[in-house]
Amino acid sequence: MRFVLITISILGWSLWAIFNKLALQKLHPLQMQIVGCIVGISLVPLYMYLLSFVQTTTISLNTVLASICATVAGFAYLIGIRDGELGTISVLTSAYPLLTFAMSVFLFNERITMVKLVGIILVLIGVVVIGR
């Protein structure tokens, strides 16, 4: 099941990037953020139905902060791909897990393993190569 979800996520993010680049040919990044909000709000009934199966529906400060971070990051990404190469910008911004990993070590005491270190080094090499 994990493989299926990861595959769906990769495919979804890939198509998201392509559709964003195409939409930016006619729209300003701020307009795209507004459209994204409208689409998200229109899905509220579906979300509420799905939440009926969840034990708690409490909204925490962390939920709000995560939404703000995603909105700001998404807007910066849209501005970046509007004028830059989609492939380059997408690869460079997809290096965010490196910072997430570093923060998770300090905030959640996640372990640093040799496999993770090798992965980080490979990602860094890829970012340097693509960023040139």
Q: What is the pLDDT along the chain (132 residues), one digit of tens a residue?
A: 888 988 899 898 899 999 999 999 999 999 999 999 999 899 888 888 887 767 666 678 888 899 899 999 999 999 999 999 998 898 888 888 889 999 999 999 999 999 999 998 998 888 888 777
Given this model, what pLDDT does residue 38 score? 93
Last residue of a domain, one of 46, 62, 84: 84
Domain of residue 114, residue span: 95-132
User: Alpha-carbon Rg of the chain, whole angstroms?
Assistant: 17
* Domain shared by 13 and 70, yes or no: yes
* Domain shared by 109 and 61, yes or no: no
- Determine how many CB atoms are found less than 10 A away from the CB of residue 81: 20
Given this model, what pLDDT does residue 76 score? 93
Establish if 41 belongs to a structural domain: yes
* Domain shared by 35 and 61, yes or no: yes
Given this model, what pLDDT does residue 55 score? 67
* Domain shared by 71 and 36, yes or no: yes
